[in-house]
Amino acid sequence: MLRYVLKRLLTAIPTLFLIVTISFFLIRVAPGGPFDLERPLEAKVMENLNKIYQLDKSLWEQYVIYMGNVLKGDLGPSFFFRDFTVGDLFRQGLPISIEIGGYALLLALIFGGALGILAALKQNRAPDYSVMTVATMGITIPNFVVAPVLTLIFGVALGWLPVGGWNNGAWPNKILPIITLALPQVAIVARLTRGSMIEALRSHHIRTARANGLPSWMVVVVHALRGALLPVVSYAGPAAAALLTGSVVIETIYGIPGVGRYFVQAALNRDYTLVMGTVIVIAVFIMIFNLIVDLLYAWLDPRVRYD
C-alpha cells in the first residue's frame, strides 16, 4: 500500500506540471489583459506596469520565471488586488472556505447517508417516497434560490440568525452558509446511498448473514453499509475538493471572505497569477482526495488490492 501511495504521489507531479502549463498558456490566449480598462491608461503608465509585472518579456520567458517561482512556493503578486500576493489571498480566505465546506460535507455525509439508508430499508413505502421527493427537490433547486429563501425565513422573518457577514467566524454567521451549501449534497448522497444500499441488501452475502440469524442492525451496519458506501465515497472525493475550495454563490450572498469569489473575479479581470493560483489549489485538492478515495476503496472492499 505504501508503494502505491508513493507511486501516486510521484505521478501527481507531472500531472500537476501539465495542468499548470496548459492553464498558463490558455489564460493568455483569451482576449484582453490585466490592465485593460474602459478608459485606457497612458502609454508610459502601461509600459511601467508591464515592466513591474514582467509582462514585457516574451511568453516563454514569463512561463519559465513563473514556474521557477512556483517551485519556490511563490505564486506571485495579484494583478487586481495589488496590495496582496496570491499567497496572501489564499492564506486569508482558504481556511474560511475549508471550514464552511468541511462542515457542509460532514452534514451531507451524515444526514444524506442516514436518509438514504432509511429510504432503502423502507423501499416503495411512504418514507422512501418522501426522502426521494425531498432529494429531487434539493438537487434541482439551485443554491442562489435556496440561500435568499433561508435568509428571508430565518434571518428577516424570524430573526434567529444573521443574514450575512463573517463576524470573525462567529457560529451564528456560519449556520446558514453551511446549511445552504450542504443541502444539494445531502440530496445527492441520499440518492446514491439508497440505490447502493438496495443493491447491497439483495446480495448473496447479506442473505447468508440473515440466514445465520444475525440481528437486522448488524446486517445493515456491518455488512451491507460497507459495500453500499463505495459509490458515495467515489462521489465524495470530487465533491470534497469542490466544497473545500469555496463557492462563489454562497460566499457572495452571505458575504463570506473565502476564496470562492476569487475564481470569477480573477477570470473576469485577467488576473493571471490569481487564476493560476486557483488552478493549482483546485488541482492539488482533487489529486489528494482522489488518492484518499482509492485508499478508502481498498479498506471498504477486500477485493480491491493495490499491491
pLDDT at 91: 86
Q: Which domains does the chain have, with CATH numbers?
A: 2-71 (no CATH), 91-300 (1.10.3720.10)
Burial of 182 (0-12, 13-18, 19+ CB in 10 A): buried
Q: Residue 302 — pLDDT band, cuts 50, 70, 90? A: low
- pLDDT tens-place string over residues 11-28: 888 888 898 899 888 887
Residues near 3 by Cβ (< 8 Å), separated by ≥ 6?
307
pLDDT at 303: 65
| Residue type at position 153 | I
Single out the residue of 195, 189, 292 nearest to residue 235, CA to CA: 189
- pLDDT tens-place string over residues 232-255: 888 888 888 888 877 778 888 888
Q: What global pTM score does this model have?
A: 0.82
Characterize 290-305 residue by residue with b for buried, 16 or more Cβ atoms within 10 angstroms of its Cβ, and e for exposed: bbebbbbbeebeeeee
- pLDDT tens-place string over residues 93-148: 888 888 888 999 999 999 988 888 888 888 888 888 888 888 888 888 888 888 88
Residue 93 near residue 258 (C-beta atoms within 8 A) = yes
Query: What's the CA gap between 123 and 130, in Å, rounded?
Result: 11
pLDDT at 199: 82
Single out the residue of 250, 265, 282, 255 nearest to residue 142, CA to CA: 250
Q: Which residues pair with 77 in a beta bridge?
A: 85
